[in-house]
Amino acid sequence: MLYTIKEWTIVDNSITTGDLLQTGNRLFTGNGYIGRRGVPDDSEPSLLPATIISGLYDGDKIREPVNVPDPLFINIVVEGTKLSLDSDSVLIHEQSLDFRYGKYMRSSAWAINDSIVNLQSERFVDRDYIHRMCARHTISSDQNVHITIKIGINGAVHDLNGPHLETFHTVLTETTLNLQCVTVEKQIVLGIACGITFSPHIPFTVEQSPTGIFKVYHYELPAHTAVQCTVYGAVFSVLDPGNPIVNANATVSQAFNAGWDSLFETHCEKWDSIWKTGDVIIEGDDEAQCCLRYSMYQLHCHAPRHSGDNAIPVHGLSGQMHKGAVCWDTELTVFPYFLATEPDMVAKFIRYRIRTLPSAKQKASEYGYQGAFYARESQETGIDACSDFSVVDVWTERPIRTYFRDKQIHINADIVYMIKKYIDWTGEWSILLEGAFEVILECTRFYLSYIYYSPRYKRFEILDVVGPDEYHERVHNNAFTNAMVLFVFNTVKDYADMLRWEEPDFAHSTVERLHFDEDLMFLKTVIPHLYQKMPNAQNIIEQFDGYFHLESCSIDNVRSRLKHPQEYWGAGVGVAVPTQIIKQADTVALLALFPHNYSFSTKKATLEFYEPRTEHNSNLSTTMNALICCDIGELDRAYCYFRENAEFDVKGEPKHRSGTHPAANGGAWMIAIQGFCGFSIEHKQIKITPRLPEAWEKVRFSVRLSEGIYDVTVTKEKYTVVKR
């Protein structure tokens, strides 16, 4: 795999199937509504080409995002030979991404008979109008050759667990190709349109298949001349306002009238507007600068600006893995970047949780609890897509029972944490009146029905849970979970008191409607007696009851016990279960979320204890460890974690070909700004504690507060904050 990243561009010369799979992530483009994997437009299904639409799911046994018909499909044949990357005739192949403006580019050459054929392509997912994609291809040869170019809408797409589309209907209008189809499960209507300009203008024929419609051009291409075709694609669903196929046609017609140059110019203007507040400039470390900007680019590709109540899935819009689910990554590592630069986006994340509250209440009821129990893997309605059998035994190929869905109750508290951070930052507590207060009340009610009173210890405990460390399931008094639940209890009490003063009618009617008076009274008893793990004599906080009695060993030692490289380390019988080896930051995450609650010595001792025991099999983990490393002055270690996060989707690994990783992208910003710059908001004032890595000379970034936008400059010795 050969790639370079410089300034705002990634250049990739990969050509093997395995490496090209990774470019689908690395060269991804999107606008929050459409996500398009970074592979050539003529890619075979083996390269997992995909066009994913935000909020559109389908599936009976396995529900996942829908890979919609491709309106930018192209197939090129020269002298009877298909231009393909798996051909021995490939001379050159290079793909690149301009991540300042979200433009994918491709340059390839083939030796066909005695001629050399060149193909130059460029593509963007329109930032100005979210339903549109545009591609342009230029073909030339050093000899006279006959070319056949097939362009149009391809509905024969690859699904991981499909098919998800049926009832295809194609139509040719005077200027466009149209395809209408429906999703298999919910019969959601999709309308796709494709418009093509061809230079020079030549006749074409129309080819229709059961799942597609195409224009076919035959042309005798003279030597040392070029033919250029521009393709405008549009995608709508019945979930969007209006008629999908009418809207798609209108969108393509508008693109014809505007032309490529005008569309791309307005697209770039939208990106410029984003970077005006969303950029971070690092002086002294060019590679870190590039990778951090790339991470922020990825976050913007997935951000649902078109929606009033949506969130970013764990793999964004980059594919169908993880069932397109929204996980607690959003609440811990994705939202902080947007809170600082675009707080309205965090309000959308909160409204998503408000909208999906009924499903969370249904889940709690199914388990016999009161209140709301939010999904570990949440899709468009909030129903939990997490399986009871999340991993497979590599020997028997039988599914293994796991308890992530049943016992990972800290997700409720993660949501409340984001809500409170948003209100603290913006002062916009009106989000409570929109439904966030009810979310907090129902999360609290769930916890009140879940906790256990121990007559022996005369305290309330939280038993049988899964903390962030998913290798150890069904543990008692997980330090992270217990502390987060106490945080929720204090938060609901504070907001109830505040609303009684600010909005007495709303507070009274909400509490009365939900019959929450008794719960609020009960909280007064619970809060002072909810068990919290305290540092021991060595200043280390035990992760859960009995954790210190597990076998102390190294990660390499545990790895050596594997009988198969793909064995899962947890799930009751895994190699890590009887040991202190954990999947990801757990107790350290608690310290990172509440840094002011713990002393320097506790942070240092707890980090030093858990760091060598943490496998970091999650993007959340490295972020939390890095933040504590910054707190205790271990900047070299923090920098290593920063690079791991910022480069995660740039480098990629074979097991990560399935999608991009917003948690790593958001974590890179957190480490750079909250960690190295020591940025925080305290008592509605900006606070900076500079602790830059050795190579970093200066960092410049912007934050948006209720009073306006502030530009911050941080060096090793000082900082400035200037209102824009």
Whether the pLDDT of residue 30 is over 80: the answer is: yes
pLDDT band at 686 (very low <50, low <70, confident <90, very high): very high
Is the distance from CB of 302 to CB of 662 less than 8 angstroms? yes
The neighbouring-strand residues paired with 327 are: none
Whether the pLDDT of residue 420 is over 90: the answer is: yes
Q: Which CATH architecture has domain 3-276?
A: Distorted Sandwich (2.70)
What separation in angstroms does the CA of 334 have from each of 110, 177, 540, 649?
42, 39, 28, 15
Tens of pLDDT, residue by residue over 92-151, are: 999 999 999 999 999 999 999 999 999 999 999 999 999 999 999 999 999 999 999 999
What is the reported pLDDT for 500? 95
| Rounded Cα distance, 415 and 428, in Å | 17
What is the reported pLDDT for 655? 55
Whether the pLDDT of residue 690 is over 70: the answer is: yes
Q: Which residue has the higher pLDDT, 683 or 670?
A: 670
Whether the pLDDT of residue 683 is over 90: the answer is: no
What is the reported pLDDT for 94? 94
Mean pLDDT of the chain: 95
Query: What proportion of the chain, given as a percentage, has pLDDT over 70?
Result: 99
What is the reported pLDDT for 18? 76
Peptide bond into 200 cis (omega under 30): yes
Tens of pLDDT, residue by residue over 469-485, are: 999 999 999 999 999 99
| Rounded Cα distance, 578 and 573, in Å | 9
Tens of pLDDT, residue by residue over 547-574, are: 999 999 999 999 999 999 989 999 988 9
Q: Hey, CA dihedral for 366, 370, 371, 376, is it positive or negative?
A: negative
DSSP summary character for residue 161: S
Helix axes 286-302, 260-278, angle to 10 degrees: 110
| Rounded Cα distance, 155 and 192, in Å | 10
> Which one of the listed residues 331, 470, 542, 647 is annotated catalytic?
470
Whether the pLDDT of residue 88 is over 70: the answer is: yes
| Rounded Cα distance, 265 and 461, in Å | 59
Tens of pLDDT, residue by residue over 12-24, are: 988 877 778 888 8
For the purposes of burial, counting CB atoms within 10 Å of the CB of 505, is it exposed (0-12), middle (13-18) or buried (19 or more)?
Answer: exposed
| Rounded Cα distance, 40 and 121, in Å | 9
Whether the pLDDT of residue 656 is over 60: the answer is: no
3-class secondary structure for 105-143?
A: EEEEEEEECCEEEEEEEEEEECCCCCCEEEEEEEEEECC
Whether the pLDDT of residue 372 is over 70: the answer is: yes
Peptide bond into 244 cis (omega under 30): no
Residue-range domain boundaries for the chain: 3-276
pLDDT band at 657 (very low <50, low <70, confident <90, very high): low
> What mean pLDDT do residues 580-591 have?
98
> What mean pLDDT do residues 599-626 have?
96
Residue 714 is inside which H or E element, if any? strand 708-715
Phi, psi of 74 (to 5 degrees): -145, 145
Active site residue 470: yes
| Terminal C-alpha separation, the chain | 43
Query: What proportion of the chain, given as a percentage, has pLDDT over 90?
Result: 89
Residues found in the chain? 724
| Rounded Cα distance, 587 and 478, in Å | 8
Contacts of 671 (CB under 8 A, 6+ apart): 623, 626, 627, 630, 638, 641, 642, 645
pLDDT band at 80 (very low <50, low <70, confident <90, very high): very high
pTM over the 0.85 mark: yes
What is the reported pLDDT for 652? 72
Is the distance from CB of 620 to CB of 333 less than 8 angstroms? yes
| Rounded Cα distance, 199 and 277, in Å | 40
What is the reported pLDDT for 654? 52
